[in-house]
Amino acid sequence: MSKKMHIQMTVNGEEQEFLAEPRELLIHTLRERLNITGPHIGCETSHCGACTVTINGKSVKSCTMFVAQANGAEVTTIEGLGNPDSLHVLQEAFKEHHGLQCGFCTPGMITRASKLLEENPTPSEEEVRFGMAGNICRCTGYQNIVKSILAAAEELNSAKEAAQ
């Protein structure tokens, strides 16, 4: 078990290099090795989405990816989306529309939603519900999450229009 691999990855724009057992799960790498505790663990079986991060431009559940598979990858977590001085539009929208309660699902939700809006900048309500179906929330009943994401989409689009 102890044979370690040399791993290199970029997390939220920062280069990271370390030795790790190949079986280490990426979520543990992020949370325990790199102290990036935004992504959470809700199931470890790919069902809940609390651990969602973006890897090389795709939404990935980091609980079911070995760190070895993420070697060389570009990883973005909730911590890389915005900062206290300039929040991501989605972070603002979730606050504005009461899109969270206990907050445990929120980092995964917002990280997934950010990707969804890149994939489809003008989603219908149905497309949001379908596109977010990999992320479980036990508190909100989703209604305000959907509202938050639709509001963020609108905000992003009007900003784009204004820029053109």
Partner 1 sequence: MKDEVTREERVDALGGMGCKRKRVEDARFTQGKGNYVDDIKLPGMLFGDFVRSPYAHARIKSIDASAALALDGVIAVLTADDLRPLGLHWMPTLAGDKQMVLADGKVLFQGQEVAYVVAKDRYIAADAVELVEVEYEDLPVLVDPFEAMKSDVVLREDLVGEDGSLPDGAHGPRKHHNHIFTWEAGEKEATKQVIDNADVVATETMYYHRTHPCPLETCGCVASMDKVNGKLTLWGTFQAPHAIRTVVSLISGIEEHNIRVISPDIGGGFGNKVGAYPGYVCSVVASIVTGVPVKWVEDRMENLMTTAFARDYWMTGKISATKDGKITGLDCHVTADHGGFDACADPTKFPAGFMNICTGSYDIPTAYLAVDGVYTNKAPGGVSYRCSFRVTEAVYFIERMIEVLAIELDMDAAELRRINFIRKDQFPYKAALGWEYDSGDYHTAWDKALKAVDYDGLRAEQAQRVEDFKAGKTRKLMGIGLTHFTEIVGAGPVKNCDILGLGMFDSCEIRIHPTGSAIARLGTISQGQGHATTFAQILATEIGLPADSITIEEGDTDTAPYGLGTYGSRSTPVAGAATAMAGRKIRAKAQMIAAYLLEVHDDDVEFDVDRFVVKGAPEKFKTMKEIAFAAYNQAIPGIEPGLEAVSYYDPPNMTYPFGAYVCVMDIDVDTGEVDIRRFYALDDCGTRINPMIIEGQVHGGLTEALAVALGQEIAYDDMGNVKTGTLMDFFLPTAWEVPNYETDHTVTPSPHHPIGAKGVGESPHVGGVPCFSNAVNDAFRAFGLRHTHMPHDHWRIWKTANQLGLHG
**Contact footprint for ligand FES (CB under 6 A):** 41-44, 46-51, 61, 63, 100-106, 137-140
Residues 8 and 87: their CA atoms lie apart, in Å, by: 28
Give, as one character, the DSSP assignment of residue 81: T
Residues 9 and 1: their CA atoms lie apart, in Å, by: 22
- Which partner from the list partner 1, ligand FES, none does 128 bind, CB cut-off 5 to 8 Å by kind? partner 1
Rg (CA), the chain: 16
Residues 44 and 125: their CA atoms lie apart, in Å, by: 28
Smallest distance, ligand FES to C-beta of residue 149, A:
14
Interface residue list for partner 1 (CB under 8 A)? 1-2, 21, 23-24, 28, 31-32, 35-45, 47-48, 50, 77-79, 82-84, 87, 91, 94-96, 98, 100-107, 110, 128-130, 132-146
Give 49 or 131: the residue with its C-beta nearer to ligand FES. 49
